[in-house]
Amino acid sequence: MWKDYIRKVVPYTPGEQPKNRKVIKLNTNENPYPPTPKVAKALEDFNKDCLRLYPDPTASALTKTLADYHGVDEDEVFVGVGSDDVIAMAFLTFFNSDKPILFPDITYSFYSVWADLYRIPYERPALDKDFKLVKEDYYKENGGIIFPNPNAPTSLAVSLDFIEDILKHNQDSLVIVDEAYIDFGGDSALALLNKYENLLVIRTFSKSRSMAGMRIGYAIGNKFLIKALNDVKYSYNSYTMNQTSLVFGKESVLDDNYFKETVDKIVATREHAKKRFEELGFTCLDSKANFLFVTHKCVPAKQIFTQLKENGIFVRYFDSPRIDNYLRVTIGTDEEMEALYKFLERYVVNA
Ligand code: PMP
Sheet of 122-123: strand order equals 77-80, 217-220, 199-204, 175-178, 145-148, 101-102, 122-123
Question: What pTM value is reported for the model?
Answer: 0.97
What pLDDT is stored for residue 238 in this prediction? 80
The DSSP bridge pattern shows strands 313-314 and 217-220 to be unpaired
- Tens place of pLDDT for every residue, the chain, 351 residues? 999 999 989 999 888 888 877 899 999 999 999 999 999 999 999 999 999 999 999 999 999 999 999 999 999 999 999 999 999 999 999 999 999 999 999 999 999 999 999 999 999 999 999 999 999 999 999 999 999 999 999 999 999 999 999 999 999 999 999 999 999 999 999 999 999 999 999 999 999 999 999 999 999 999 999 999 999 999 987 888 999 999 999 999 999 999 999 999 999 999 999 999 999 999 999 999 999 999 999 999 999 999 999 999 999 999 999 999 999 999 999 999 999 999 999 999 777
Provide Rg for the chain, Cα atoms. Answer: 21
Choose which residue among 66, 108, 147 to substitute to test ligand 1 binding: the one with the highest number of ligand atoms within 8 A of its C-beta: 108
The alpha carbon of 311 and the centre of ligand 1 are apart by a number of angstroms equal to: 27
Number of the ligand 1 atom closest to the C-alpha atom of 212 = 15
Q: 345, 311 in Cβ contact below 8 A?
A: no
Residue nearest to atom 12 of ligand 1 (CA): 83
The alpha carbon of 83 and the centre of ligand 1 are apart by a number of angstroms equal to: 6
Number of the ligand 1 atom closest to the C-alpha atom of 28 = 8
The alpha carbon of 348 and the centre of ligand 1 are apart by a number of angstroms equal to: 31
SS (H, E, C) 276-331: HHHHCCEEECCCCCCEEEEEECCCCHHHHHHHHHHCCEECEECCCCCCCCCEEEEC
What pLDDT is stored for residue 155 in this prediction? 98
The alpha carbon of 335 and the centre of ligand 1 are apart by a number of angstroms equal to: 25
Number of the ligand 1 atom closest to the C-alpha atom of 87 = 10
What pLDDT is stored for residue 351 in this prediction? 75
Instruction: Determine the Cα angle at 181 with ends 175 and 185, to 5°.
Output: 105
What pLDDT is stored for residue 292 in this prediction? 98
Please list every protein residue whose CB sits less than 6 Å from any atom of ligand 1.
82-84, 108, 148, 152, 178, 180, 204, 206, 212, 217
Which residue from 151, 107, 105, 179 is spatially nearest to 285, judged by alpha carbons? 151
**Sequence spans of domains, the chain:** 2-34+257-350, 37-255
* Domain boundaries 2-34+257-350, corresponding CATH code: 3.90.1150.10
The alpha carbon of 350 and the centre of ligand 1 are apart by a number of angstroms equal to: 36
Number of the ligand 1 atom closest to the C-alpha atom of 178 = 1
Chain-centroid distance, C-alpha 278: 26
Give just the sign of the alpha carbon dihedral 192, 203, 147, 265.
Answer: positive
What pLDDT is stored for residue 159 in this prediction? 98
Choose which residue among 86, 110, 200 to substitute to test ligand 1 binding: the one with the highest number of ligand atoms within 8 A of its C-beta: 110
The alpha carbon of 100 and the centre of ligand 1 are apart by a number of angstroms equal to: 22
What pLDDT is stored for residue 5 in this prediction? 94
Distance in angstroms (rounded) separating the CA atoms of residues 106 and 93: 24
What pLDDT is stored for residue 237 in this prediction? 79
Cα distances (angstroms) measured from residue 18 to each of 21, 82, 174: 7, 21, 38
What pLDDT is stored for residue 179 in this prediction? 99
Instruction: Tell me which amino acid residue 133 is.
Output: L
Residue 336, Cβ density class (10 Å: 0-12 exposed, 13-18 middle, ≥19 buried): middle
The alpha carbon of 84 and the centre of ligand 1 are apart by a number of angstroms equal to: 6
DSSP-based three-state secondary structure for 39: helix
The alpha carbon of 314 and the centre of ligand 1 are apart by a number of angstroms equal to: 18
Which residues, 6 or more positions from 19, have their beta carbon under 8 angstroms from its beta carbon?
none
The alpha carbon of 147 and the centre of ligand 1 are apart by a number of angstroms equal to: 12
Number of the ligand 1 atom closest to the C-alpha atom of 204 = 16
Residue nearest to atom 1 of ligand 1 (CA): 180
Q: 133, 127 in Cβ contact below 8 A?
A: yes
The alpha carbon of 85 and the centre of ligand 1 are apart by a number of angstroms equal to: 9
**Residue 13: in which H helix or E strand, if any?**
none
Number of the ligand 1 atom closest to the C-alpha atom of 81 = 14
DSSP-based three-state secondary structure for 229: helix
Residue nearest to atom 6 of ligand 1 (CA): 180
Which residue from 265, 299, 259, 267 is spatially nearest to 281, judged by alpha carbons? 299
Q: Is 3.40.640.10 the CATH classification of the domain at 37-255?
A: yes
Cα distances (angstroms) measured from residue 15 to each of 27, 153, 282, 316, 329: 6, 12, 23, 7, 12
Distance in angstroms (rounded) separating the CA atoms of residues 87 and 231: 15
Q: 161, 149 in Cβ contact below 8 A?
A: no
Per residue in 50-104, pLDDT tens? 999 999 999 999 999 999 999 999 999 999 999 999 999 999 999 999 999 999 9
What pLDDT is stored for residue 315 in this prediction? 98
Chain-centroid distance, C-alpha 116: 20
Distance in angstroms (rounded) separating the CA atoms of residues 351 and 337: 20
Choose which residue among 16, 78, 83 to substitute to test ligand 1 binding: the one with the highest number of ligand atoms within 8 A of its C-beta: 83
Q: 102, 145 in Cβ contact below 8 A?
A: yes
The alpha carbon of 208 and the centre of ligand 1 are apart by a number of angstroms equal to: 12
Cβ neighbours, 10 Å, residue 97: 16
